[in-house]
Amino acid sequence: MKVYIVKDYHEMSKKAASIIAVQAAMDPDSVLGLATGSTPVGAYEYLRKWSEEGTLDFSGIRTVNLDEYKGIAKESDQSYYHFMRENLFDHINVKEENTYIPDGEKEDIDAVCRDYEALIRKLGGVDLQLLGIGRNGHIGFNEPSETFPGECHCVDLAESTIEANKRFFESAEDVPRQAYTMGIGTIMNAKKILLLASGEDKAEAMYQTMCGPITPRVPASVLRLHRDVTIIADEAAMAKAGTR
């Protein structure tokens, strides 16, 4: 595990974008696992800038997103499909047919999860998986539980997750209560993992992830068992974990 402690969100974002850019340059047909939420937005801004300048080529890149709310239309401003188009896809030269996100509109939960797992396998797996971390240690939408879920599944969102995400909606009541997410097993099968953390509200989660027991009660803690994990976190997020 490689850990980089940086000054702030800006430095975290630039370093993360640089790592993703190197992956895309070294392997132009890479499969990138992408994340949503406020954490990766800064990194996506750098990737957009470099793509618009012509120094970064996404024409052969394939992408798979971690998750999507269940029961939300693609056209909704709060869907992760909309988020990815607004923050990245519409500004780089990635082919639309090479971008994949779980279908939140389908009602057949088993079919959505089965099809997404089959898609990832067909693509040859994820080369670099980008992750944020929730205040409760969740990665993707894998909430604290009694076991590590293996494959893509539909999850009931924890109240802390709903509270954290309500800023993207009119109110907490508007936040979907379920979401599709890659499982822990799928995430751990990625060849490389890049975890980002910023802000003092992530300090406890980072401490438990890096210094506590490996347990499904802190889903991100399992990353310590992966062969190639890079963590980039700012000083506020690492206030409790230090350099361990």
Domain membership flag for residue 242: no
**Whole-number pLDDT of residue 42:** 98
Domain membership flag for residue 78: yes
**Whole-number pLDDT of residue 163:** 79
Residue 180: which of 120, 92, 90, 244 has the closest Cα? 120
Distance, in Å, from the CA atom of 175 to the CA atom of 78, rounded to the nearest integer, reads: 9
Residue 237: which of 194, 211, 195, 201 has the closest Cα? 201
Domain membership flag for residue 59: yes
For 45-53, which contacts have Cβ atoms below 8 Å and span 24 or more sequence positions?
Answer: 45/13, 45/17, 45/87, 46/13, 46/14, 46/17, 46/18, 46/21, 47/17, 47/20, 47/21, 47/88, 47/92, 48/88, 48/91, 48/92, 50/17, 50/21, 51/91, 51/92, 51/93, 52/91, 52/92
pLDDT digits (tens), the chain, 244 positions: 999 999 999 999 999 999 999 999 999 999 999 999 999 999 999 999 999 999 999 999 999 999 999 988 888 888 999 999 999 999 999 999 999 999 999 989 999 999 999 999 999 999 999 999 999 999 999 999 999 999 999 998 878 787 777 777 777 777 778 899 999 999 999 999 999 999 999 999 999 999 999 999 999 999 999 999 999 999 999 999 875 4
* Domain with 61 in it: 2-234
Domain membership flag for residue 38: yes
Domain membership flag for residue 109: yes
**Whole-number pLDDT of residue 158:** 79
Q: CATH number for the domain including 144?
A: 3.40.50.1360
Q: What is the pTM of this model?
A: 0.93
State both tokens at 190.
């990625």
Catalytic residues: 67, 136, 138, 143
DSSP state of 195: E
Domain membership flag for residue 244: no
**Whole-number pLDDT of residue 244:** 45
Chain centre to alpha carbon of residue 243: 23
Domain membership flag for residue 105: yes
Phi (first) and psi of residue 238, to 5 degrees:
-100, 15
Domain membership flag for residue 240: no
The number of distinct structural domains making up the chain is 1
